[in-house]
């Protein structure tokens, strides 16, 4: 319990150097880290090397004072061996590695010349850190700030989710506990992330994700402060504008071009049939027409077809996923009276039952558990589902901006009354054939607007966010462009395009053979005659 001038900190491994490489407003400190605990949930060599480089560059690290503990959660023996090799090559005399799959503790004694010693599984951690680490036994760590998304949720005084599992495993291995505290406040966003640790208010500091909007070279860093966990509101689909208003300009243009095209080439029914096949299939192979007018018409129809299908993919979800009613559901009572069900991830009901929500059994029966996970959504095609739910926090009207796909009105309606803590429920029409495409859209919205899960998508392709901080309660205001879907959001469009292109290409080759069959037959006869003549001579 003698942590007086020392502190323990924890943060995202790839952001350690940026977070602790300097102090805001020229603030100086003589403090040095007493402990650095690194949790490796998966092995990637570039990550591990970045950890080592970031720690050694930090002004809070001291080669003679700082103790480094690396806890690996990967089960691969080869990966753990490589982790050991990387850390053992560094100038970190006070370092230990805890590798669970091999059931031993590896550490480097406090001399660079000594070899790495393998301790038995029952070895006490204080044998590595001697007097310091043994004081962690039974110590209550104070968690002041915690990045709750995308893999964690905080309910009461406990952390759930993947990060919570790692945290529980760590504190259990050193016989400790933790307690979540209210985060401190400061006018400066950057200073908030380190203020609680530097002022000795917290032992752990779960820092924030850093989003590089363009490139690492431009060093444009955006900070997201942990939002306060609030009750999550249900989201319903709104009725959209009629389809004829959206499609009328494109439909009129297509009809006009087709009418002129049919009238101009009606003298050639066979050519018209080929053109119809090509234009319908969006083929990039226009037929060689006899006149320039016919060629221009075909190319124009092809060009408008591309615009038509591009417009279709942007609004098909907004129109075809029909809510089936005109009245918005704003309260839990209205939701309870409706026939709608809510799909939630598997195991979430156990968390719901731990919350004092006050709902009756009839309402809770509306929640259906599924194996669907946010991180697996892109690989799954839910077909006969009643709803869809993902982990989310502090769902607020910024979603209405992100989800506005057409610049007209948002796709989603935000319920006024909250349902329960820490789960954002997206409610859909039962047995809708467009649940799967819309789930992909909501996944993009969730990744771009509700969480900081940016690894698998390019944020700038979906939505551009200008972030500003409310200094009073830590809310983030989002101002975004409208959301445009792309070809990959509706894979059936790709299927039609490729099949049509293949069919049109086959038709194009067949037409060449048909129109030149006489010439081809003549050449074949000439080749056969030449072969027969030479055979007779021999």
pTM above 0.75, yes or no: no
Q: How many domains does the chain have?
A: 2
Q: Max CA-CA distance within the chain?
A: 108
pLDDT of 407 > 80? The answer is no
CA distance 361 to 387: 19
pLDDT recorded at residue 463: 29
- Please check whether residue 180 lies inside any domain of the structure: no
Closest CA to 125 of 65, 66, 174, 172: 174
Six-digit token string for 360: 């009756």
Closest CA to 284 of 487, 512, 494, 501: 501
Q: Which of 4-13, 161-170, 406-415 has the lowest mean pLDDT?
A: 4-13
Cα dihedral across residues 41, 42, 43, 46: positive or negative: negative
Bridge partners, 36 (sequence order): 9, 68
- Please check whether residue 19 lies inside any domain of the structure: yes
pLDDT in tens, 99-115: 554 333 344 333 333 34
Q: Give 47's pLDDT tier (boundaries 50, 70, 90).
A: confident
pLDDT in tens, 396-406: 333 333 333 33
Closest CA to 29 of 200, 192, 203: 200
Opening angle at CA 209, ends 405 and 27, nearest 5: 130
- Please check whether residue 396 lies inside any domain of the structure: no
What single string gives the DSSP state of each residue in 8-47? EEB--GGGHHHHHS--GGG-------SEEEEEESS--HHH
What value does the mean pLDDT take over residues 60-69? 73
Residue of higher predicted confidence among 288 and 528: 528
CA distance 11 to 207: 5
Residue of higher predicted confidence among 432 and 172: 172
What value does the mean pLDDT take over residues 461-484? 29
Domain-ending residue, one of 265, 288, 321: 321
Residue of higher predicted confidence among 468 and 54: 54
pLDDT recorded at residue 165: 65
- Please check whether residue 187 lies inside any domain of the structure: no
Distance of CA 417 to the CA centre of its chain: 27
Domain-ending residue, one of 321, 340, 364: 321
pLDDT in tens, 212-238: 222 333 332 222 222 222 333 344 433
- Please check whether residue 296 lies inside any domain of the structure: yes
pLDDT of 168 > 70? The answer is yes
Six-digit token string for 107: 């550490």
pLDDT in tens, 487-533: 344 444 445 545 555 565 566 566 556 666 666 777 777 888 888 88
Six-digit token string for 509: 């080759």
pLDDT recorded at residue 267: 55
pLDDT recorded at residue 504: 55
Alpha helices in 106-227 (DSSP H): 126-129, 162-173, 189-198
- Please check whether residue 90 lies inside any domain of the structure: yes
Q: Which of 202-206, 285-289, 520-524 has the lowest mean pLDDT?
A: 285-289
Block residue for tokens 């003298």: 267
Question: Residue 307's domain spans which residues?
Answer: 243-321
pLDDT of 372 > 60? The answer is no
Closest CA to 92 of 124, 66, 119, 125: 66
pLDDT recorded at residue 171: 72
pLDDT of 477 > 70? The answer is no
Asked if residues 421 and 229 have their Cβ atoms less than 8 Å apart, the reply is yes
| Percentage of residues in the chain having pLDDT higher than 70 | 14
Asked if residues 132 and 35 have their Cβ atoms less than 8 Å apart, the reply is yes
- Please check whether residue 277 lies inside any domain of the structure: yes
Opening angle at CA 175, ends 8 and 208, nearest 5: 35
pLDDT of 421 > 80? The answer is no
Six-digit token string for 158: 């406990």
Sheet containing 35-40: give its strands across. Answer: 8-9, 35-40, 67-72, 95-99, 104-108, 117-119
pLDDT in tens, 274-283: 555 555 444 4
Bridge partners, 141 (sequence order): 178
The overall average pLDDT reported for the chain is 51
**Residue 156, C-beta contacts closer than 8 angstroms, at least 6 positions apart:** 354
Domain-ending residue, one of 95, 129, 163: 129
**DSSP code of residue 402:** H
- Please check whether residue 282 lies inside any domain of the structure: yes
CB-hemisphere CA count at 13 Å for 112?
Answer: 6
Opening angle at CA 80, ends 74 and 81, nearest 5: 165
3-state secondary structure of 469: strand
Asked if residues 152 and 161 have their Cβ atoms less than 8 Å apart, the reply is yes
């Amino acid at each position: 319990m003698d942590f007086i001038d020392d502190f323990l900190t924890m943060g995202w491994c790839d952001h350690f150097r940026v977070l602790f490489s300097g102090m805001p407003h020229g603030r100086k400190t003589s403090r040095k880290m007493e402990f650095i605990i690194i949790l490796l949930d998966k092995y990637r060599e570039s990550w591990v090397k970045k950890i080592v480089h970031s720690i050694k560059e930090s002004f809070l690290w001291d080669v003679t004072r700082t103790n480094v503990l690396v806890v690996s959660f990967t089960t691969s023996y080869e990966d753990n061996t490589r982790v050991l090799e990387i850390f053992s090559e560094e100038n970190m005399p006070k370092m230990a590695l805890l590798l669970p799959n091999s059931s031993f503790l590896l550490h480097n004694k406090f001399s660079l010349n000594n070899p790495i010693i393998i301790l038995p599984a029952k070895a006490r951690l204080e044998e590595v850190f001697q007097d310091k680490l043994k004081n962690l036994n039974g110590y209550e760590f104070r968690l002041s700030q915690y990045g709750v998304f995308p893999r964690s949720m905080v309910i009461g005084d406990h952390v759930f989710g993947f990060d919570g599992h790692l945290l529980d495993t760590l504190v259990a291995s050193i016989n400790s506990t933790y307690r979540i505290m209210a985060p401190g406040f400061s006018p400066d966003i950057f200073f908030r992330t380190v203020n609680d640790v530097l002022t000795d208010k917290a032992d752990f500091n779960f820092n924030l994700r850093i989003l590089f909007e363009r490139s690492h070279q431009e060093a444009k860093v955006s900070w997201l402060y942990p939002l306060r966990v609030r009750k999550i509101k249900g989201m319903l689909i709104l009725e959209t504008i009629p389809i004829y208003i959206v499609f009328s300009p494109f439909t009129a243009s297509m009809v006009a071009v087709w009418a002129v095209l049919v009238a101009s080439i009606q003298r050639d029914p066979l050519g018209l049939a080929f053109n119809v096949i090509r234009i319908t299939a969006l083929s990039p192979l226009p037929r060689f027409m006899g006149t320039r007018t016919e060629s221009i018409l075909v190319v124009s129809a092809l060009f408008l077809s591309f615009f038509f299908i591009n417009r279709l993919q942007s609004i098909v979800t907004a129109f075809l996923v029909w809510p089936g009613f005109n009245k918005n559901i704003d309260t839990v009572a209205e939701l309870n009276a409706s026939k709608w069900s809510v799909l939630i991830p598997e195991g979430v009901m156990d968390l719901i039952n731990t919350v004092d929500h006050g709902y009756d059994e009839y309402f809770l029966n509306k929640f259906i558990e599924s194996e669907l996970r946010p991180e697996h959504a892109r690989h799954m095609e839910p077909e006969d589902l009643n709803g869809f739910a993902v982990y989310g926090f502090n769902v607020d009207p910024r979603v209405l901006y992100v989800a506005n796909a057409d610049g007209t009105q948002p796709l989603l309606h935000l319920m006024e009354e909250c349902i329960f803590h820490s789960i954002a429920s997206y409610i859909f029409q039962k047995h809708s054939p467009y649940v799967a495409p819309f789930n992909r859209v909501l996944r993009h919205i969730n990744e771009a607007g509700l969480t900081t899960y940016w690894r698998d998508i390019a944020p700038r392709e979906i939505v551009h966010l200008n972030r500003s901080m409310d200094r009073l309660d830590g809310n983030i205001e989002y101002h975004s462009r409208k959301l445009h879907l792309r070809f990959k959001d509706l894979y059936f469009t790709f299927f039609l395009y490729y099949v049509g292109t293949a069919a049109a290409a086959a038709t194009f080759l067949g037409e060449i053979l048909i129109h030149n069959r006489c010439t081809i037959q003549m050449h074949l006869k000439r080749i056969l005659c030449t072969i027969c003549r030479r055979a007779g001579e021999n």
